[in-house]
Amino acid sequence: MIQQQGKKVGLPLMNLVRLNRTPILKQLHLEEKLLRKSSTNWCIINDGTDTPAIVMGISGKPSELLEIGSVLRDQVPVIKRFTGGGTVVVDKGTVFVTLICNKDDVPGVQPYPRSIMSWSGLLYNQVFKGIADFQLRENDYVFGNRKFGGNAQSITKNRWIHHTSFLWDYAEGNMAFLKQPARAPEYRMERGHTEFICRMNEYLPRTDFIEKTTEAVETYFSVKNVNLEATEEPCGAEFVPSTRLLSKQELEEALGPQPEIIGVSV
C-alpha cells in the first residue's frame, strides 16, 4: 500500500486545526458552527485560552453551580455552552481537544453518548499508554482516581461533537469559583476540587500530549493540517450560535437579593 505523507488510504478525512490561546468563547462558537453547518470531520486543538473563564453546560444554573459573589467581584466571564455536562474553570493552563465527526465515518460507534464516550476512552488509552494509570471513569478521564479531563458532547441527526478540557495546569484559587455540584460522579466521594483533580503536567510534557493525541486520531482518520481560514469556507456567514456569555445582570439576578449593610456609628 502506498501511503502519502499525512494521508492514509481508505480512512475518512479529518481536518486538524491548531489554535493557541484562542478565547474559549470564540472556540465554542467555531465548534458549534462546524457541527451544524459543515459536513467535514474536524479536530480542533486549542493550547490554552487567553483569560480565565467559567464554562457551564447547556442546563447549568449559576445559582447552583457558582460562587456568584466571587465571580462578580473578580469579573470572571461565565459562558453557557451548547453541549451537555458540567462546569469548568478554564485558563491558559487548559488544553482543549475537540472531535467533530460524521457518524458514518466512525463505524461501530452509535450516535449516543455512552458509545461515543467509550470510543473516546479507547482513543485516549493510546495517548496515555505506558504513561500513567489512565482510565475513562464515569465519563471523566482520570489518572488513578483523580480527574484531569472533563468531557461533553452534542449529537445531531448525522454528526456529533466530543470535546474535552484537559487540566494541564490550573490555579487553585480559580476552583473557589465553583460550588460542589449536586450531580457528581460516585468516584468523587464528596472530595473537594483540589482533592478530586490533578495536573497533567506532572505526567508528561505538553508537546508530547498534543503529538500523541494527533497520532491517536490518525489511527481512525486521514488527518490534514489546515488553518483557521479553512473553517470559514464550507459554512458561510449565516449562523447564530446558542453558546453565549451570561450578562452581569443575569448573574446578579441569580445571586438574589443581598442583605443591606447598615453602618453603625460609634
Partner 1 sequence: MASRLLWASRAASYLRISVFHRGFSSVIKDLKYADSHEWVKVDGNSATIGITDHAQDHLGDVVYVELPEVGVTVKQDASFGAVESVKATSDVNSPVSGKVVEVNEELSSSPALVNSSPYEDGWIIKVEMDNAGELKKLMDADQYTKFCEEEDSKH
Minimum distance from CB of 96 to partner 1 (Å)?
Answer: 15
Q: How far is the CB of 114 from partner 1 (least distance, A)?
A: 6
Query: In this complex, which beta carbon is closest to partner 1, that of residue 57 or of residue 77?
Result: 57
Query: Least distance (Å) from partner 1 to the CB of residue 84?
Result: 4
The cell for 132 is: 500513567
62 versus 86: smaller Cβ distance to partner 1: 86
d(CA 103, CA 159): 5
Shortest distance (Å) from residue 184 CB to partner 1: 13
Catalog residues that contact partner 1 under the rule CB under 8 A.
57-59, 82-86, 107-110, 112-117, 139, 151-157, 183
Closest listed residue to residue 66, CA positions, set 262, 246, 257, 212:
246
Q: Which is nearer to partner 1, 48 or 111 (CB)?
A: 111
Give the sheet arrangement for strand 53-56, strand by strand: 88-90, 53-56, 78-80, 244-245
Of 22 and 154, CB closest to partner 1 = 154
Minimum distance from residue 172 beta carbon to partner 1 (Å): 25
CB of 54 to partner 1, least distance (A): 17
Q: Which is nearer to partner 1, 87 or 231 (CB)?
A: 87
**CA 158, CA 111: separation in Å to the nearest integer?**
8
The residue among 46 and 139 lying less far from partner 1, judged by its C-beta, is 139
Nearer to partner 1, 182 or 264 (CB): 182
Cα–Cα distance measured from residue 93 to residue 229, given in angstroms and rounded to the nearest whole number: 25
Long-range contacts (CB closer than 8 Å, 24 or more residues apart) made by 163-166: 163/31, 163/44, 163/83, 163/96, 163/97, 163/98, 163/99, 164/96, 164/97, 164/98, 164/120, 165/55, 165/88, 165/90, 165/94, 165/95, 165/96, 166/94, 166/95, 166/96, 166/97, 166/141, 166/200, 166/209
Write out the H or E segment, with its range, that includes residue 206. Answer: helix 206-218
Shortest reach from residue 165's CB to partner 1, in Å: 12
Strand blocks (E) in 103-137: 134-137
